[in-house]
Amino acid sequence: MSDANIAEVNATNINATATPEQTKRTRVVPVTFKIVISFALFILISNFVTNYINLIFNRAELYNLMNQLLIKDLKAMYTYCNNQWDILQFDKNYEESIQSIEQKGIHELKNEKAIVLGIKPDGEILFQASRITRYETFNDSATLGKLVVNLKDNKDEGHIHFTFNNEEYFGIYKFNQKWNAFVLRAEELSEFYKESRVIFRNISIMIVVFTILMGTIGVLLLRFLLRFIEVFTTKIREMIESQELGIMDLSKATNDDITYLGAAFNSLSSMVNNLMYIFRKFTNQDIVTKAYQERVVKLEGQKKNLTILFSDIKSFTFITETLGTDIINLLNMYYDTAIREIVKFQGIIGSIIGDAILAVYGVFDNPTLNKSYQAVLTSYKLQEVTATLRENMKRIKANIETEQGVLSPEQNKMYRAVLLEIGVGIDGGEVFYGTLGSYVRMTNTVIGDNVNAASRLEGLTRIYKIPVICSDFVKDDIENNVENHGVHFVEVDTVMVKGKTEGKKIYWPILDTDFDGYMKQQVTLFSEGLKFYYDGDWDKAKQQFEECELKITEVFKIRTQDKCPNNWNGIWEMKSK
């Protein structure tokens, strides 16, 4: 295949419309349903947010009211503690005074987890008036430290948040000089907010119920107001099934925005018919998009940094001679799936030249996708496509053998012909990409040395018996720009292809899914042999290659049968394309 043929790009047709069968299977969701659901969600969110904000404000007000009550309770307890101190000085009954304080505190408490504490600066609990577990020491050392520091700064009272009994509390305190203790009155947060949470839950349930009720009424009302949308939708589906764009009948439509939408569609229908003329000439998405945006197709081009994938079917001459005109059916069976995979990975079809596909990556300038990485992933998808075809052919052969016995020589020859195998070469760099031809007939093309190099690399897959070969450009592009790419690049050789004056390293990209323990071991053996091969120690290289079970070693076993040339520089010169 000549370099000129490799660089040439031919356009193919794009069928962007749905088939009638696909249209029948497509479920159309009424726009009234979408509108009501959208509004219902907004209403729910709005009501919930409003309810929550109301809850926050109410809690703030409750908090202020509770602070006032706590201050009142604390004053009463503080006075009572002073009175008990005076009594203690008279009767000297310490335990009775503490017990009296605790009884007074419990009498003032309403909630189950509310507490009144007397805390010494060293953390000892002087008294604890509560209905919860009794503690000997105050374990929230951070809070206690703040209280002590505040006391030293002559701040002997204030608000406080702390942890007690493994729960969060808030309250107020005042230091009592007589007892040398902080008198603290506090409420447990969760218990304090319990009633407000119940109210929030009940109101939320009411919001949901009323939203569902209003939503149902809204659906009925909107379906009536938007009834002509269904008429337009039916007409559009008819156009899709017939694969022809037509004009909608708007004579019975109401005078509103919906009718204007139908009129706009009629205008768009005429414009799309004009674009269909362009679709017949161009296939690649970038050309179609540009034509749609600019309303004109220009003969122009530019230099771009792209990655080129070249795939060719092996033993194509044998296949053609064996199948004759049936080769078209086989190729279309392969191309139908292969092209879908190329497009799925953001590649464009540069050309289909008989048994070869030229694909280009990086045209769309998508910063989230690495062009070389997409090309490598595509190369293995293409291998899967041919593997699936071979498996299908094997099943057909097995069925035929079951029905009629062993295949005849002619049938066996045809069977071998349909077992497609491909090689893939990938290279990249700066190339010319643009539109050539005339305004009567034009095509988009990619031209550059890297295009030809991709074809050369594909040809090397037959020599080295590996499915994919790529260049330094592809390896560096992926390793430097793609994190966690999962591609292992195995150095294959340094070769100087025909027509070139310098050698280039070539690589076998292996995906993580294929790089298991066995493959890793075999690649290690090969790489060690390749090092001896480069160094000119061909005897050791041959020993390593003999131990390796990979097919790639076959060509090296043949080379290393001879002695290493005296002028060996590690570069193997290819004598043919």
In DSSP notation, 378-430 reads HHHHHHHHHHHHHHHHHHHHHHHHHHH-SPPHHHHHHHHHHS--EEEEEEEEE
As a whole number, mean pLDDT of residues 266-275 equals 75
Q: How far apart are CA 151 and CA 121, in angstroms?
A: 9
**Long-range Cβ contacts of 220-224 (<8 Å, 24+ apart):** 222/32, 222/35, 222/36, 223/30, 223/32
**5 pLDDT tier (thresholds 50, 70, 90):** very low
Determine which of 16-20, 323-327, 484-488 has the lowest per-residue pLDDT on average. Answer: 16-20
Query: Is 305's pLDDT higher than 80?
Result: yes
**170 pLDDT tier (thresholds 50, 70, 90):** confident
pLDDT at 320: 79
**27 pLDDT tier (thresholds 50, 70, 90):** low
As a whole number, mean pLDDT of residues 533-559 equals 94
Percentage above 70 pLDDT, the chain: 84
Each residue's pLDDT tens digit, 381-392: 999 998 998 898
Q: Which is more confident, 383 or 12? A: 383
Each residue's pLDDT tens digit, 155-168: 999 888 899 999 99
pLDDT at 554: 94
As a whole number, mean pLDDT of residues 248-271 equals 74
Query: Is 8's pLDDT higher than 60?
Result: no
User: At residue 484, what is the residue type?
Assistant: N
Each residue's pLDDT tens digit, 234-251: 777 777 676 667 777 777
Beta pairing, strands 181-188 & 115-119: antiparallel
Each residue's pLDDT tens digit, 184-231: 999 888 887 777 777 777 877 887 787 778 777 777 777 776 767 777
As a whole number, mean pLDDT of residues 479-505 equals 89
As a whole number, mean pLDDT of residues 262-270 equals 78
Q: How far apart are CA 361 and CA 379, in angstroms?
A: 12
Place of tokens 């509390």: 169
Of 323-327, 523-527, 561-565, where does the model show the most confidence? 523-527
For residue 515, give both structure tokens.
């790089």
Q: Please give the full DSSP string across 199-256, using - where no structure is assigned.
A: HHHHHHHHHHHHHHHHHHHHHHHHHHHTHHHHHHHHHHHHHHHHT-------TTS-SS
The end-to-end CA distance of the chain, in Å, is 9
To the nearest whole number, what is the mean pLDDT of the chain?
82
Q: How far apart are CA 275 and CA 14, in angstroms?
A: 12
Q: Please give the full DSSP string across 282-293, using - where no structure is assigned.
A: --SHHHHHHHHH
Q: How far apart are CA 246 and CA 421, in angstroms?
A: 46
Of 264-278, 332-346, 351-365, 509-523, where does the model show the most confidence? 509-523
Of 464, 304, 473, 451, the closest CA to residue 2 belongs to 451
Q: How far apart are CA 522 and CA 526, in angstroms?
A: 6
pLDDT at 279: 63
**18 pLDDT tier (thresholds 50, 70, 90):** very low
Residue spans of the domains in the chain: they are 308-377+407-573
For the chain, give percent helix, strand, coil, nearest 5.
Answer: 55, 20, 25
As a whole number, mean pLDDT of residues 106-134 equals 89
Query: Is 148's pLDDT higher than 70?
Result: yes
- Residue 358's DSSP bridge partners are 310, 351
Domain 308-377+407-573: what homologous superfamily?
A: Nucleotide cyclase, GGDEF domain (3.30.70.1230)
Percentage above 90 pLDDT, the chain: 33
For residue 51, give both structure tokens.
């309810």
pLDDT at 577: 60
Of 436, 432, 453, 544, the closest CA to residue 495 belongs to 453
What's the Cα-to-Cα distance from 138 to each of 107, 122, 447, rounded to whole Å? 22, 9, 82
As a whole number, mean pLDDT of residues 22-34 equals 56
Query: Is 378's pLDDT higher than 90?
Result: yes
Each residue's pLDDT tens digit, 285-298: 666 666 655 556 66
Of 186, 189, 155, 190, the closest CA to residue 171 belongs to 186
pLDDT at 555: 94
pLDDT at 282: 53
Of 45, 68, 57, the closest CA to residue 199 belongs to 57
**495 with 504: CB under 8 angstroms?**
yes
Determine which of 278-292, 297-311, 417-431 has the lowest per-residue pLDDT on average. Answer: 278-292
